[in-house]
Structure 1
Amino acid sequence: MSFFAELSRRNVIRVAGLYVVAAWLVVQVADTMLPVFEAPGWVMKVLVGLLALGSVPAVVFSWAFELTPEGIKRERDVDRSESTVDLTARKLDVAVIVLLVLVAGLVFWRPGGEPDLVARSPAPAADSATQDAPGEGAEITDKSIAVLPFADFSQGGDQGWFADGLTEEILNALARTPDLLVSARTSSFKYKGSDLAIPQIAAELGVAHVLEGSVRSGAGRIRVTAQLIRAADGFHLWSQTYDRDAADMIGIQEDLARQIATAMQTSMDPKALADMAEVGTHSVEAYQAYLRGVAESLPTTQEDFRRAYEHFESARTLDLGFAAAHARAADYWLNEMDPTLTTSSQRDLSGSEMLARFQERIDLAIRHASRDVDRLTSRSLKAQAEQRFNEVIALRRELLAARPSDRISLNVILDMLTRTSEVDAMREPLDQVYARASERAEWANLYLNYGHRGPDVALAAERALPLAERWRDDEFVLYQAHRGLLWYGRIDAARKVLERWQQVTLRGQWSLIPPARQASAEGRCEEVERLLGELSPKQISERWHLLMLLQRSREATELLMPYEESGNVQALSGFLSYRQFDPTPFPSLMRVLEREGVQRPAAVGVPFACPAQGGGI
């Protein structure tokens, strides 16, 4: 007997056919149900792999064993005269026929494999019709997309599996997007390798957008190119090329799928596109990195500011012409050069190194700015780094004319006016800020920061308590309110604000300053000495403040002298904001004041300082 005849006699061929048909049915059911449960793409891959592996033991089992009335026996132990293989064959034939009928029914129920459009998120009953492909003349929703199979352009043509897997991952990522209609996998894959024009494919699938792409590999790298096309006019809304190391192919699929899906959501949103154009970039990824940076920078803590900078760096790298990203990254280095700011982390870099990084970024921001307001902002930052106080004030006032509610410009103006000692000129911007102080904590923080340095310290102190109560859970507002109250001698009121501040503060940088001020105001100078001992040598500004509370001004001056010796005028300039700072020991700073025409009055002693113990003013 031939080998083929023996395979037929033992029903191996029938079992293999039954297994193939049953496995196909399982895959089709899984392909329909898995998206309902938002299963990741790897689940289908694992299922197909297990079914493929399962075919081997099924065939081996049918060859080696036989089903008899007494149960399963090894084939060699069954008497040929008592064999039931013919009866088993008839049962298998019936089973195959039944499964084929189910297959035919499934194909008839789902022409082309499955409905053209699948709503990947729960929809109200009234909108359930949008789950199927639009009929002729039906309106196509703008939030609909088909993801065509990515083409394999690799030299060896051996990355088809990766291209198909990436397409599936993108489909799964988009399937989780609310209100987005995604063309089903089977429908999209019918166009694999098709020469049809994109508008025709989109019309047949009933979608407004099509994503297509390609995969290339070589020298251990994978390059994926993707482009989103608007079907109505063939316009490319977005395109991007990704270069990755090929070491982790599956991880690359998942990562790229998330990035592409996120980018497409932005690309299909007209408002987001308009915002991108407004801010000055056509790169969706750069815009998203920029927005993450803006969000991180809002709390103004040291760590947030550093994370924000990393996002801005990413944005400006993705789009070299992105002026706003260059400006934001430059602003980070401007802050780093000023040790008096809470956002300054005192990096182990010289002033000249930080200045060089600032200048590189700010020059790019000025060069690529497409709007006058952006160019004015960057020019102001550059003037600020160069200690051109009067020019900064003029530029920021010009910006305020275009943007009357620009809090940052008001902040810069108030800062510059303290440096130029133009106290009376602070009245108008302080009034503008106070008008918004009850609406937003940032405005209250800004008012309290400069109110006690302005023309009416008593008024600022009077407003401090209501603002501290209004924003009683904001540590920055409470910090500034506490200082303002002490400057006007409201020691008891300041103590209550300090107690609240201690309940909400995150105990970060500068957290020793408020208790040191309160201790000094209450005459507990030994406590100030103890707190001074807890500060690290790198905490220059905080140490300076505590030395001034102890009236050890000579030590305070010596503490800042390294800035003078290294030529870091920007660092010294920040201390001009404090009325108790004496610039006369610093020739580089005095030359700046002379150039700017600043008539700075004599330093004012801190009214709540400890009694002088030698080495004082």
Structure 2
Amino acid sequence: MNYEKFLSSEVTTENDGAMALADGAVLVAGPFRLDMRERRLTRDGVAIPLSGKPLELLEFLMKGSQRLINKDEIFERVWEGRAISEAVLTTAIRQIRAALGDDARNPAIIETVHGKGYRFLIPATSAARGARLTSAAAPSHARRRAAPAIFAAVLLLAFLLAAVIFSRAGSRPASPPAKSIAVMPFADLSPEADAAWFTEGLTEEIVTSIARTPDLRIASRRAAETAARDGATPAALRDRLGVATVLEGAVRRTEGRVKVTAHLFRTSDGFQLWTQSYDRAENDVITIQEDIAVDIARALDTVLDPSKLAAMMKAGTASPAAYEAYLIGVAFSRRNLLGGDIEDARRSAAAFERAREIDPSFSNAHWRAALAWFNNETRMDSKVFGAEFSREERLTAYEHRVDAAIATASNEIDALKYRSSRASMRLQLKPAHDLMLQYLKARPRDIDAWEQLATLAAYAGDRRSVARAAERVHALSMESGWPWSRAVTISVMAMKPELAARRARAQLRVNPDNATLNYQAHRAFLWSGAIEDAKKALVYVRSSAMAEENKLLAEMRQACAEGRIADAARFRERIEPIGDVAARWQAAQLMGDQADANRILAQFDNEEGLPTLLQFMFHPTFDATAFPALMRRLEIEGVRPVRPARMPMACATVPAA
């Protein structure tokens, strides 16, 4: 195809062939128009989904159109000189070609010069902002930017309306707190009632996003669900949930269309502050967000903090299909946390995999998919990908997805978290720690990041920092209305058993029948000596859908704590043939068989296995001195491992080194 005929002006170049752009200009090359201020790419006026690093790379190539740009220059300018593999660059180029409709074997847009770099073949020029393409009139719907997703939209309206209401509260007594909101479960009104996963994931994403906003207090998710089932009145919601406003909504999917209705009302008198319905074709569902943003801006007649607004619109994809797959992943992840069923974890991982395959520039999907492959060797959900994949294959898959998350991250701050995780898997412990601290300085309310920092601090033997991270995970998750059981786990690993037990009791008051929480609470109670409390938690673990080896471990802990050594030994025998490495290692320690515990992990004491062995350093009972290769690596990293702690409920005490 001859793209020259689409040009409406002469190409202006500098001596090196790179384009000289006026401030605020857009790039035009043939039928393509790239506006980096709006981060929007169109072809003949029709929006093309492309974001993150691929979009930035396209801008750089267009600025140097018809000039060979070598790979080193690309890495320096687009990835700011970071150590990125060539596979990441190749993936980004492939995504650009897919978006533009180019053929790598017979390129008309981007040429590969093997061993050197790439050349953007179409002459590019700058155009004034707002100028129209002469080749085709852009349809009116193309004026919409690709937006994140429905959940951000509803969240946005809730926050903005609540903010105005709260600012007008003025001198009025604030009881409940003025800046407080409850998000009720969105209802599935679809004829076949088959969109439960969508509504569940939508509600979860709204709650999670609101929790990152420091000036809004959100009610407990479980309390909101219970109140919804009870049909509580506005006054009852005010008293039971302690909130001034409530957001509720419904989703209806039928005949290829999605309708989302949202309502915000005041609990003091039930007055409905705002209501709106949005009806879209399924393939146009994401544009609802922009329409809501415009409606709210007009209704409030106010100027918003752009950084706060941007923080709420961060789904990270312009693909409805990718977003739906992502929501399925979120929904099944939550179900796994509730019931401990490994099948839900597998369904969640598969959904995140689909999301990243549908939209290769979906950074969040890459990240969530990566965590299912590796980085959880000692956790309950470590069997998401079983024996069909070797450890090396899982680590490779993890690194590939983390690299993709870094390459497609919409900003450098988000990339810091991904880079930290990758560095830790490469045993670069200090850089990993420093990167995570940088990230948390910018994102202090990211619960997931505090959990990662706890792990990194444990690797460094810094139990004080582990305890600090546990406090933040607990406090932030309780504020969000959805307590994280990992706060209890981290508190135990920080050697704060009494504090772990108190946090477990606080979380169980919110989520008393959460299987994963009861499992972690059971261990915390035993570490603190609260055997009777542990018995109560064990009842929930027994009736749960979690993996059999986890149930047996809990039974074994209880038996040891009660002095039933013979029973504990029988539980260990049942764990041996079915348990993963972490389960068999813990069982050996519970029986006081430290030699066998070390033997189980000795297979990882080599260069290939160290990323796995390192993860066991999270446990205070782990003895790093038993593993020479690990000790040599820790010495290189300047890490002095702490003395292993004793397990108080063990059938025989684990000896300290």
2:435 partner letter: L
Alignment of 1:317-356 (within 5 A): 317-335=357-375, 338-345=377-384, 346-356=386-396
Change (3 A) 1:285 1:277: farther
Q: Which moved more, 1:584-593 or 1:371-380?
A: 584-593
Q: How far did 1:396 drift?
A: 2.1
User: Aligned pair 1:596/2:616, yes or no?
Assistant: no
* Alignment partner, residue 365 of structure 1: 405
Superposed CA RMSD in Å reads 3.5
Change (3 A) 1:275 1:580: closer
Q: How far did 1:565 drift?
A: 5.3
CA distance in 2, matches of 1:311, 1:237: 25
CA distance in 1, matches of 2:493, 2:315: 35
Q: Which moved more, 1:315-324 or 1:437-446?
A: 437-446
The SS at the match of 1:278 is coil
* Alignment partner, residue 290 of structure 1: 326
Q: How far did 1:446 drift?
A: 2.3
* Alignment partner, residue 431 of structure 1: 471
Preserved CA contact (<8 Å) 1:580 1:606: yes
Q: How far did 1:577 drift?
A: 1.2
The SS at the match of 1:609 is coil
Q: How far did 1:395 drift?
A: 2.0
Preserved CA contact (<8 Å) 2:565 2:651: yes
User: Aligned pair 1:568/2:604, yes or no?
Assistant: no
CA distance in 2, matches of 1:384, 1:256: 48
User: Aligned pair 1:549/2:590, yes or no?
Assistant: yes
Q: How far did 1:493 drift?
A: 2.8
CA distance in 2, matches of 1:439, 1:291: 23
**CA displacement, residues 460-486 of structure 1 (integer Å, 9 cap, x when unaligned):** 334433433443111222212221121
* Alignment partner, residue 534 of structure 2: 494
**CA displacement, residues 412-433 of structure 1 (integer Å, 9 cap, x when unaligned):** 1112222222112234323323
CA distance in 1, matches of 2:536, 2:370: 39
- Where structure 1 has 5 or more consecutive residues not aligned to the other structure, the ranges are 1-228, 239-254
Higher relative contact order (CA 8 A, sep 6+): 2
CA distance in 1, matches of 2:608, 2:141: 59
The SS at the match of 2:625 is coil
User: Aligned pair 1:304/2:344, yes or no?
Assistant: yes
User: Aligned pair 1:374/2:414, yes or no?
Assistant: yes
CA distance in 2, matches of 1:566, 1:391: 19
* Alignment partner, residue 539 of structure 1: 580
TM-score (norm 2): 0.51
* Alignment partner, residue 279 of structure 1: 315
Q: How far did 1:523 drift?
A: 1.0
CA distance in 1, matches of 2:471, 2:521: 17
* Alignment partner, residue 286 of structure 2: 266
2:283 partner letter: A
The SS at the match of 1:279 is coil
Q: How far did 1:562 drift?
A: 2.2
Change (3 A) 1:501 1:350: closer
CA distance in 2, matches of 1:472, 1:552: 34
2:594 partner letter: S
**CA displacement, residues 211-252 of structure 1 (integer Å, 9 cap, x when unaligned):** xxxxxxxxxxxxxxxxxx9964665878xxxxxxxxxxxxxx
For the pair shown, the structure with the greater C-alpha radius of gyration is 1
1:584 partner letter: T
* Alignment partner, residue 551 of structure 2: 511
* Alignment partner, residue 599 of structure 2: 558
Preserved CA contact (<8 Å) 2:473 2:487: yes
1:262 partner letter: E
Change (3 A) 1:441 1:304: farther
Preserved CA contact (<8 Å) 2:373 2:398: yes
Preserved CA contact (<8 Å) 1:230 1:236: no
Change (3 A) 1:443 1:591: farther
Match of 2:621 among 559, 575, 580: 580
The SS at the match of 2:557 is helix
- Aligned pairs, how many? 373
**CA displacement, residues 280-338 of structure 1 (integer Å, 9 cap, x when unaligned):** 332222222223223322334432232222222222222222222222222222246x2
Change (3 A) 1:311 1:501: closer
Preserved CA contact (<8 Å) 1:461 1:484: yes
Alignment of 1:412-431 (within 5 A): 412-431=452-471
Change (3 A) 1:396 1:272: farther
Preserved CA contact (<8 Å) 1:365 1:375: yes
